[in-house]
Amino acid sequence: MGWTLQQPRSRHLLLLFMTFALCVTVVFISKSDSRDLYEHSTVAYKMAEMEMRVDQLTRLYELKDNDVQDLIKRFSSVLKSIVKSLNVSVTDEIESLIATYNKSIETIRSPMANFDVFTFLPHLRSHKNYLRPLILHSGNRNAVSIVFGVPTVRRQQTYLIQTLINLVSNMNQTEQKDSLIVVMIGETDQEYIKQVTEEIKSRLPEAANSGLLDIIAPSPEYYPDFSKLRLTLGDSEDRVRWRSKQNLDFVFLMMYCQPKGSFYVQLEDDVVAKPQFHSIMKKTALQKIANGQQWFILDFCRLGFIGKMMRCSDLPWLIQFIVMFYNDKPGDWLLDGMIGTKACNLEKDDRDCRKRKNEIWVMYSPSLFQHIGTRSSLNGKIQLLKDSLFKKKINVKRINKIRSK
Ligand SMILES: *[C@@H]1O[C@H](CO)[C@@H](O)[C@H](O)[C@H]1NC(C)=O
Ligand SMILES: *[C@@H]1O[C@H](CO)[C@@H](O)[C@H](O)[C@H]1NC(C)=O
Ligand SMILES: *[C@@H]1O[C@H](CO)[C@@H](O)[C@H](O)[C@H]1NC(C)=O
């Protein structure tokens, strides 16, 4: 299991494929002006699905698994058959693109650049194994549409089991098979980790056995010496330590999840979800991609880090950003900061900035997730933040509508 993340070659593949998809679309459109819009949008949706499929394969490639790589090698012929099934004639150009794609996979076996967390967490330099996760339970599931990351830490009152049961029971079989839920226990007490793992496995045996659930923990050496943190934002030592560790937990979880699917959604260990949340999220994302809309985050809950959906291929940007500033700000502020950095024009005002941010950080309403915990993991601090958009009546109607489709 490698921690190698971003590498230019797979970007290449993706780029290549997008060029390919574009060509097919162009061919398709120019060939059939008379087809109605609906049909066209269906093709665009299929294209988006294909794009995500390639993306999944790219992620899988990063796992350096031989079987998986053979699978990807065969993918160019799958592309061919997809073109056939769409009943579009492709030009020689596209034929040659497919061949190039095939060939580029042949030559991709060069070692991949390591994702650089070592600059920012220098204590890991001495031993790269310190970045290796403790895999407490895994069905080795890959290539799902959505990977859900659930970070959890020891706290006075735990809702973890309740949360997991709720998530699983709000997915049907199709959705479960297309998901991976990764629980990351952000603790180093081996006894405690073992106990939580056993409890999850015994309370959710089906999810654990089917491969839907992975349970991991960081290696004990992953965390830096928290007594040496800089005190930032005028916060107390406890608070700085708590949010810095939380950032490192998020990053670790994201690094583990990144190669395993098309989309990543982070949750918390004390949430409830709406039925069909998986299908709604996947459909929303694919539709946006099909429509050619640029987005970086699809936001399915207004709170903190809950329900933020990203492409797995975009995750390295966030991972890198958080790890650079983990000691400076809480994770949700860093997320906001990154989007601001991406989107805002400093010569314009706040309103313009907000508008630009909203274009790539797209809010989905109604919310699909709600907080249930009332005690923060920071010293049992009482926190009563709720997402007010979760319970509106419109939700129920909307969900029923989607259900009855
Ligand atoms: C891809 O390359 C393999 C040989 O590596 C070849 O057998 C196969 O036909 C090629 N597929 C396409 C679609 O060109
Ligand atoms: C493919 O499209 C052509 C016209 O463009 C049509 O004659 C043919 O029946 C179509 N084939 C399938 C399998 O839909
Ligand atoms: C699960 O729900 C999705 C979305 O509504 C639907 O497409 C799928 O067929 C359902 N699967 C099962 C096994 O009911």
**Domain range spanning residue 178?**
112-404
The phi, psi pair for 73, rounded to 5°, reads: -60, -35
**Closest residue by CA, ligand 3 atom 2:** 172
* Secondary structure element (H or E) that encloses residue 361, with its range: strand 361-363
Quick one: average pLDDT of 262-276? 94
**Closest residue by CA, ligand 3 atom 9:** 174
Are residues 128 and 156 part of one domain? yes
Are residues 377 and 228 part of one domain? yes
- What is the C-alpha to C-alpha distance for residues 65 and 67, in angstroms, rounded to an integer? 6
Would you place residue 162 in the very low, low, confident or very high pLDDT band (cuts 50, 70, 90)? very high
Are residues 250 and 127 part of one domain? yes
**Taking the mean position of all CA atoms in its chain, how far away is CA 1?**
18
Give 18 or 54, the one with higher predicted confidence.
54
142 within ligand 3 shell (Cβ under 6 A): no
CA dist list (Å): 101 to 20, 21, 115, 247, 399? 10, 12, 25, 38, 41
pLDDT in tens, 209-224: 999 999 999 988 899 9
Are residues 268 and 132 part of one domain? yes
pLDDT for 297 equals: 96
pLDDT in tens, 179-194: 999 999 999 999 999 9
Q: Which ligand is nearest to the CA of 172?
A: 3
Are residues 116 and 46 part of one domain? no
Res 388 pLDDT > 70: no
For residue 311, the CA-to-ligand 2 centroid distance in Å is 35
The mean-pLDDT minimum among 37-41, 134-138, 150-154, 243-247 falls in 37-41
Quick one: average pLDDT of 292-321? 92
276 within ligand 3 shell (Cβ under 6 A): yes
The mean-pLDDT minimum among 81-85, 204-208, 263-267 falls in 81-85
Which atom belonging to ligand 3 lies closest to the Cα atom of 172? 1
Res 150 pLDDT > 80: yes
Identify the domain boundary among 83, 109, 135: 109
Are residues 129 and 74 part of one domain? no
CA dist list (Å): 114 to 32, 110, 250, 377? 46, 12, 19, 32
**Closest residue by CA, ligand 3 atom 11:** 174
| Pairing state between β 308-311 and 261-266 | antiparallel
Are residues 134 and 73 part of one domain? no
pLDDT for 273 equals: 95
For residue 304, the CA-to-ligand 3 centroid distance in Å is 29
Which atom belonging to ligand 1 lies closest to the Cα atom of 77? 13
Which atom belonging to ligand 3 lies closest to the Cα atom of 402? 5
Are residues 150 and 93 part of one domain? no
Which atom belonging to ligand 1 lies closest to the Cα atom of 106? 5
The phi, psi pair for 275, rounded to 5°, reads: -55, 145
55 within ligand 3 shell (Cβ under 6 A): no
The mean-pLDDT minimum among 23-37, 46-60, 209-223, 264-278 falls in 23-37
For residue 28, the CA-to-ligand 1 centroid distance in Å is 25
pLDDT for 85 equals: 75
Are residues 261 and 367 part of one domain? yes
Identify the domain boundary among 81, 109, 137: 109
Identify the domain boundary among 78, 109, 140: 109
Which atom belonging to ligand 3 lies closest to the Cα atom of 403? 5
Res 392 pLDDT > 80: no
Res 257 pLDDT > 60: yes
90 within ligand 1 shell (Cβ under 6 A): no
**Closest residue by CA, ligand 1 atom 9:** 77
8 Å CB contact between 258 and 264? yes
Are residues 117 and 102 part of one domain? no
pLDDT in tens, 107-148: 433 222 345 687 788 888 777 677 888 889 999 888 899 999
Are residues 135 and 63 part of one domain? no
Res 397 pLDDT > 90: no
174 within ligand 3 shell (Cβ under 6 A): yes
pLDDT for 66 equals: 57
Residue among 226, 251, 241, 221 at smallest CA distance from 324 = 251
For residue 208, the CA-to-ligand 3 centroid distance in Å is 21
**Closest residue by CA, ligand 1 atom 11:** 77
pLDDT for 206 equals: 96
Are residues 249 and 363 part of one domain? yes
The phi, psi pair for 148, rounded to 5°, reads: -100, 120
- For ligand 3, mutation pick of 49, 172, 368, 399 (most atoms within 8 Å of CB): 172
Give 88 or 334, the one with higher predicted confidence.
334
For residue 154, give the CATH number of its domain: 3.90.550.10
8 Å CB contact between 261 and 141? no
For residue 102, the CA-to-ligand 1 centroid distance in Å is 6
Quick one: average pLDDT of 226-255? 94
DSSP 138-157: -----SEEEEEEEEE---SS
Q: Give me the number of domains the chain comprises.
A: 2
- What is the C-alpha to C-alpha distance for residues 373 and 100, in angstroms, rounded to an integer? 52
